[in-house]
Structure 1
Amino acid sequence: MNDGMNSGTSGQPLAGYERPTLKTIAYMTGLGITTVSRALKDAPDIGADTKERVRQVAQQIGYQPNRAGVRLRTGKTNVIALVLSVDEELMGFTTQMVFGITEVLSATQYHLVVTPHTHAKDPMIPIRYILDTGSADGVIISKMQPDDPRVRFMTERNMPFAAHGRTDMGIEHPYHDFDNEAYTYEAVKRLAQCGRKHIAVLLPARQFSYHDFARRGFDRGLREFGLTEFPLNGIISNDTPLDQIKEISRALMSGSDFPDGLVSISGTSTIAFVAGVEEAGKSIGKDIDLVSKQSADFLNWLRPEIHTMNEDIKLAGRELAKALLGRIEGKSPTVLQSLSQPVWSFRAPKFGK
């Protein structure tokens, strides 16, 4: 459709023309301004065909709501803030998370703003800023701690939020999590099936909740399958710089006593560990078997001999967005909690040394 008024092929307003308004859309569709407004807000009393017609025209003419006006009228920003650690950018984590969230938000009036931060600094800083400035209607956070001050703060301030991970602090809140306990248990089981006996585990840093879940599943697997742990004694985690992981791996595998199996919680850490193994002159699948979690199939492409399970980060983004929207609508946190299970990669190698 070409209205000849104020849009180009990109759907953006042409220079020299006034900004499209609800009145513009109403004129082009023959609908009332109130109907147009409610259609764009996905009101339940507006028919699906009408909503689609209004959205198509809005997109073609480059309509964008006046956010300052919306905030003055409603007290809402129509913004969702995704607060992510810069450490999570590796291997497309952020990209997949954003894709999943925007898939859900695309059918709503909400827009996503990514707020980066580092856990080396106070993780409360971006949360306080968002709440003090009123710059978002809801927040998505990750890298959860068992007793997380962000959860307590936003709960006390009645800020809707959803967490990528669980806590253990007696506060019910929306979350989506990956079952790291099931993952590490199944990983140990796979290594036992490969005939491995002396297993190391590369865990998250101790301050994060998923460390405890992963540790629990690993220990249960060792007990049930009669294996022993090769202790790393806390010298490395999946938050250790990759060059240090490689050097520690090389030193371990160069000695006379080294693990014959490894469970890794992070694909990037696995790559660094493998580099150290091979610098020590050892071989994956012969001297040591590895099971690693991954969020994309890159490990299978690079090293098909590594056993891998997938964590669907795009699914996590979708579930977090749905949980946060539900919380904004006033739903109970207890019905806004979900847990995804690990799935073996199709290309995982067969058992045996």
Structure 2
Amino acid sequence: MPTGDHEQPSVRSGPPRPTLKTIAEMSGLAVATVSRALADDPKIAEATRKRVAEIARLIGYEPDRAARRLRTGRTMVINLILDPHFEVLGFGNALLVGLTGALEGTGYNLVVTPHFTEEDVLPPIRRIVTNRQADGLIFTRTAPFDERVRFLMEQGFPFVCHGRTEFTEPHPWVDHDNEAFAYAAAGRLVAQGCQRICALLPPESLTFRQHLRYGLMRAVRETGVEFHIPDEVTLDSPMDRIQAWAQAIATTPDSPDGFICGGEASWLAIRNGYRAAGQGARFRAVAKSISGILSQIDAGAEVIHEDIEEAGRLLGDHLLRRIAEPHLPPPQTLQAPVIQFRD
């Protein structure tokens, strides 16, 4: 035992962690009543539920997740598999704001799992499901016959995806109406006198490529305008590559005079390419925007808004509903584009 100069100072423990018993003593209620009130049991009077919730907030009570998992089988975790969206500026931030808003006050914790490889999308999903690391999953950038959707439906595991698939069995999703976006964008460019419209589309592996193409082709059939879909670049191409491509085609005899841009990054790259080629005056485009940055760069920019923050809220709401009521039809929401043309 250390003595003299070698004696170790005593370690003081912090204040005891608030428990259900702490709240029960402060409120004068039974522990069981406190537990049911915090679980928002409708059989407990609303005034009592509010009083218990306020006491819990004031003393910093946090439920013991391990104990709750043993008792209920739930982790109280929602996992978001976040893929890169370099084309859409601020996508991840906006999605997280909406999603955390939907989960606020529910007792659920949000865990974000970054996924930056296109090679195999299943490993993080399998790991979470196999080890029961979450009660539900949210992911983005869906494919027509997405392996993640197939796997989760087979496992009966709650999920919601941002984007649709072509599976006949319905599943929960939230999506932007990209067909309506492309149709409105093409119509606007035709109205401005454009005679050859170029649509920069996502890779063929993603479902919303075909939705954008459907909208463009509907406008082509109605107006007879010429169109071009490049093979050299996609919405996922780096900005410098898109800019170099735009600069190269800007002075060709059949160069496009109108562009449909699926996000702010492609708008900036194509505009800069046309300017570098001395063809800036010929650049006309309609871009999908979520951040509002294009209006700050160019007050005359033609944009159609996609509300990613609302999409995050919807994804959270749909997943909570799916977890609570798995027997009901899966919730599905198609968000309408918000047109913000200058006139």
Scaled by the length of structure 1, what TM-score is found? 0.90
Asked if 2 retains the 8 angstrom alpha-carbon contact of 1:124 and 1:149, the reply is yes
1:236 and 2:233 are equivalent in the alignment: yes
1:294 and 2:289 are equivalent in the alignment: yes
Asked if 1 retains the 8 angstrom alpha-carbon contact of 2:87 and 2:265, the reply is no
Matched with 2:301 is 306
Give per-residue Cα distances to partners, 1:75-101, cap 9 Å, x unaligned. 110000011103359622111111111
1:340 to partner: Cα distance: 0.7
Q: Gaps (5+ residues) in structure 2? A: 1-11
Matched with 1:262 is 259
Q: Gaps (5+ residues) in structure 1? A: 1-13
Are the structure 2 counterparts of residues 125 and 319 from structure 1 closer, same or farther at C-alpha, using a change threshold of 3 Å? same
Matched with 2:76 is 78
1:278 and 2:271 are equivalent in the alignment: no
Q: Distance in 1 between the 2:48 and 2:103 partners?
A: 19
Question: What amino acid is the match of 1:307?
Answer: E
Query: CA RMSD, aligned part only?
Result: 1.8
Give per-residue Cα distances to partners, 1:122-177, cap 9 Å, x unaligned. 11111011111110000011100010110111111110000111110222101111
2:311 to 291, 316, 337: 316
Are the structure 2 counterparts of residues 248 and 143 from structure 1 closer, same or farther at C-alpha, using a change threshold of 3 Å? same
Question: What amino acid is the match of 2:61?
Answer: Y
Matched with 1:340 is 335
Q: How does 1:107-122 map to 2 (within 5 A)?
A: 107-122=105-120
SS of corresponding position for 2:185: helix
Question: What amino acid is the match of 1:220?
Answer: R
Q: Distance in 2 between the 1:236 and 1:71 partners?
A: 48
Matched with 2:7 is none
SS of corresponding position for 2:70: helix
1:31 to partner: Cα distance: 2.2
Q: Distance in 1 between the 2:75 and 2:193 partners?
A: 57
Matched with 1:141 is 139
SS of corresponding position for 2:89: helix
Matched with 2:20 is 22
Give per-residue Cα distances to partners, 1:47-71, cap 9 Å, x unaligned. 3332232222222222111111111
Asked if 2 retains the 8 angstrom alpha-carbon contact of 1:173 and 1:333, the reply is no
Q: Distance in 1 between the 2:325 and 2:225 partners?
A: 48
1:349 and 2:342 are equivalent in the alignment: yes
1:198 and 2:200 are equivalent in the alignment: no
1:247 to 222, 244, 249: 244
Q: How does 1:211-222 map to 2 (within 5 A)?
A: 211-222=209-220
1:255 to partner: Cα distance: 2.9
- Name whichever of 252-261 and 153-162 sits farther off: 252-261
Question: What amino acid is the match of 1:245?
Answer: I
Question: What amino acid is the match of 2:271?
Answer: V
Q: Distance in 2 between the 1:189 and 1:90 partners?
A: 22
1:111 to partner: Cα distance: 1.2
Give per-residue Cα distances to partners, 1:248-296, cap 9 Å, x unaligned. 111111334311100011222221222212111222xx41210000112
Are the structure 2 counterparts of residues 172 and 256 from structure 1 closer, same or farther at C-alpha, using a change threshold of 3 Å? same
Q: Distance in 2 between the 1:121 and 1:335 partners?
A: 29
Asked if 2 retains the 8 angstrom alpha-carbon contact of 1:174 and 1:333, the reply is no
1:105 to partner: Cα distance: 1.0
Are the structure 2 counterparts of residues 231 and 138 from structure 1 closer, same or farther at C-alpha, using a change threshold of 3 Å? closer
Are the structure 2 counterparts of residues 268 and 332 from structure 1 closer, same or farther at C-alpha, using a change threshold of 3 Å? farther
Q: Distance in 2 between the 1:23 and 1:202 partners?
A: 60
Give per-residue Cα distances to partners, 1:277-335, cap 9 Å, x unaligned. 2111222xx41210000112111111222210000001101111111111111245645
Are the structure 2 counterparts of residues 215 and 102 from structure 1 closer, same or farther at C-alpha, using a change threshold of 3 Å? same
